[in-house]
A and B are shown apart, each in its own frame.
Chain A
Amino acid sequence: MIDGYFIHLLILIGIYFILAASLQLPLGYSGLLNFGHIAFFGIGAYTYAILTLNGLPPIFVFLVAGTIAAIFGFLLSIPTNKLKGDYLALMSLGFSFVIYAILLNWTELTRGPLGLPGIPRPIIFDFVFSGNSSFFILVLIIAATSYLFLHLLTKSPFGKALEAIRDDELAARSLGKNTFRLKSVSLIISAFMAGIAGSLFAAYITFIDPSSFTFVNLIPILLIVIIGGIASLPGTFFATIVIILLPELFRFIGLPSEILGPVRQIFYALALILIIYFKPRGFYGKIDLE
């Protein structure tokens, strides 16, 4: 029983790490305040659910889900040529509301608020990841690959060019950098990874509905990024563990199940306010929030 619960938490840590680490790329490295990230997670989850429920092979569907989220990432990147800071944040927030509205109202495709039940677990080379232990191995492999990929990317000169945009976009452009292209690439990669995280989420929970992909669900992800520290991948990893495990304590202090969810949301929101106020660089960050 405890083993099962522990593996469940490890799976959530893996999925949320991929989601938060992929947000680091546009937010922490390129300086794009992207509130639309949760929409990419939702697009990935729904793509996986709809396609696998219609009989497509899950291994192929993972890639399709990431690719469709990446296409939306590219579309979201187009206005970044003109918009930045607060304006980009508001626009990306609007984007997440639009995606939520589509998931809620396109009932022929998504079944709206009723959600999609019975989502199949992944099958790779005839191996069905039906048990949580095997599913955890899959999540672990994808999370580790994501970490390695982001590590190589951000430590390379490409990552430094992204950081240059974050620090001073005009100066980067005056050194001949095509900053629009760089920002687009960072949003596309980030959306692809969020789409993969969404697919894993749908495959693990086996039921999704639009309420999992609202702005409220972005708050713990932002919290992970900020607690861990802007542009810090190790920080993101440790913060994911803390943010997934800490609210679990509420289960053990005898709170009624109907208020457990709202208490968790309040905890996330309060923690976000406190960390921004008292430790804006997070625990591993070297970059100031502006």
Chain B
Amino acid sequence: MLKVNNLSKKFGGVRAVNDCSFEIERDKITALIGPNGSGKTTIFNLISGVIKSDLGKIFLDNEEITDLSVDKISNLGISRVFQQERLFKNLTVAENLLLAIDNEDTKLWKNIFGLNKITREKKGKIHKILKEFNILEIKNKTAKKLSFGQKRLVELARTVLNPHKLLMLDEPVAGVNPKIKKDIAKFLLGLKKQKRTILLIEHDMLFAFSVADVIIVMDAGRVIAKGSPDEIKNNKEVLEAYLGY
């Protein structure tokens, strides 16, 4: 579904991504793991158009998306959670979620004349996802007043509501308490059952190995291994990259 071919990106003298190639399979959860500085978030930024590549190509369903703008890539079907919290802090939770499902909100006249209605269907989608995450009670709270864990859940909900073919989650459970981590794992496993395609960056190995079908291991900007969680656990090169032996 997603193909990354010979991608490279340098920041000054640092080669963050170095001739990196891999493929993401449809209907599977793929976890991208690797030591700090191995280039995982840079790969996410390149795929989602946040930064431009130096070399290489990216394809989504055989359509080249290399260096397209962030909004175009989103509209082609890639929805992303960032590593740092990026909610619209002065808007309510419901307004944050509505922005993900409303594709008419940029049409000026339709909005002025009240033709872009917040329909029962849109409200229903928001209600359903908040209920799934057990956070219905914060629906009308302003995002800046939420706890860290609640913000993470709302951001995940917003990314899932944004129409997509591929979900990209950058450390969705980093810094959250064990209860929320469990809720997120349950939600991801639910998505797995629904055959959704997910690319995940995760430092928590137990979490990554428990939800992913495929693991891609990166080190020094390139892919050093790819396989099932069991194959990766026993891969020599991976152990060397992580533990130095």
Q: Which residues of A contact B (CB under 8 A)?
A: 149, 152-153, 156-161, 163-164, 166-168, 170-179, 181-182, 185, 231, 286-287
- For A158, the chain B residues whose CB sits under 8 A away are 105-108, 111-112, 116
Instruction: Give the one of A159, A161, A286, A287 with max B CB within 10 A.
Output: A161
Where chain B touches its partner, the secondary structure class is loop
State the CA gap A166–B144 with chains docked (Å). Answer: 14
How far does the alpha carbon of A177 sit from the alpha carbon of B118 in the complex, in Å? 17
Residue interface bits B99-117, CB-to-A below 8 A is 1, else 0 = 1101111111001101010
Choose among B86, B89, B99 the residue that contacts A161 (Cβ–Cβ < 8 A). B99
In angstroms, Cα B114 to Cα A168, docked, is: 25
In the complex, the answer to whether B71 meets A171 with C-beta atoms within 8 Å is: no
Point out the residues of chain B lying under 8 angstroms from A170, CB to CB: 50, 70, 82, 86
A-B contact list, 22 entries, CB within 8 Å:
A152-B112, A152-B114, A156-B114, A158-B106, A158-B107, A159-B111, A160-B91, A167-B88, A168-B86, A170-B50, A170-B70, A170-B82, A171-B82, A173-B74, A174-B80, A174-B86, A174-B162, A176-B71, A176-B163, A177-B71, A177-B105, A178-B71
**Interface presence of B55 (CB below 8 A):** no
Number of A-B contacts (CB under 8 A): 100
Beyond A167-B89, A167-B91, is A176–B105 a contact (Cβ under 8 Å)? no
Name which residue of chain B comes closest to A189, CB basis. Answer: B108
Question: Given B90, B112, B116, which contacts A149 in the complex, CB threshold below 8 Å?
Answer: B112
Chain B residues near A163 (CB-CB < 8 A): 88, 90-91
Q: Chain B contacts of A168 at CB under 8 A?
A: 86-89
Secondary structure type dominating chain A contacts: helix
Find residues 139-171 in chain B having any chain A CB closer than 8 Å to their own CB: 142, 158, 162-163
- Which residue of A156, A167, A173 contacts B111 across the interface (Cβ within 8 Å)? A156
Interface residues of B (CB under 8 A from A): 48, 50, 69-71, 74-75, 79-80, 82, 86-91, 95, 98-100, 102-108, 111-112, 114, 116, 118, 142, 158, 162-163
Contact call B118/A157, Cβ cutoff below 8 A: yes
- A164:B86 contact, CB within 8 angstroms: no
CB-nearest residue of chain B relative to A149?
B112
Q: Which residues of B contact A161 (CB under 8 A)?
A: 99, 102, 105-106
Taking a contact as CB atoms under 8 Å apart, the answer to whether A173 and B91 are in contact is no
| Cross-interface CB contact of A157 among B70, B87, B98, B162, cutoff 8 Å | B98
Rounded to whole angstroms, the CA-CA distance of A178 and B158 in the bound complex is 18
A83→B71 CA distance, assembly (Å)? 17
Residues of A within 8 A of B86 (CB): 168, 170-171, 174
Chain A's closest residue to B100 (CB) is A175
For the complex, give the distance between the alpha carbons of A38 and B74 in Å.
37
Contact B112 A176 (CB under 8 A): no
- Please, which residues of chain B bring their CB within 8 A of the CB of A286? 90, 142
A201 to chain B, nearest CB (A): 26
Task: Tell me if A157 and B88 are in contact (CB < 8 A).
Answer: no
With known contacts A157-B104, A160-B105, A171–B88 Cβ distance under 8 A: yes
Given A157-B118, A158-B107, A158-B111, residue A173 in contact with residue B102 (CB < 8 A): no
A158 to B114, CA, bound (A): 10
Q: Point out the residue from B50, B71, B103, B104 that lies within 8 Å of A179, measured CB to CB.
A: B71
> Contact: B105 with A157, CB < 8 Å?
yes
Q: Considering the complex of A and B, which 6 residue pairs feature the smallest CB-CB distances, nearest first?
A: A158-B111, A157-B105, A156-B111, A176-B74, A171-B86, A167-B88
Nearest A residue (CB) for B92:
A160
| Interchain CB contact under 8 A, B111 and A176 | no
Bound CA span A153–B109, Å: 9
The residues of A that contact B75 with a CB separation of less than 8 Å are 176
- Residues of chain B within 8 A (CB-CB) of A179 are 71
- CB closest residue in chain B, given A160: B95
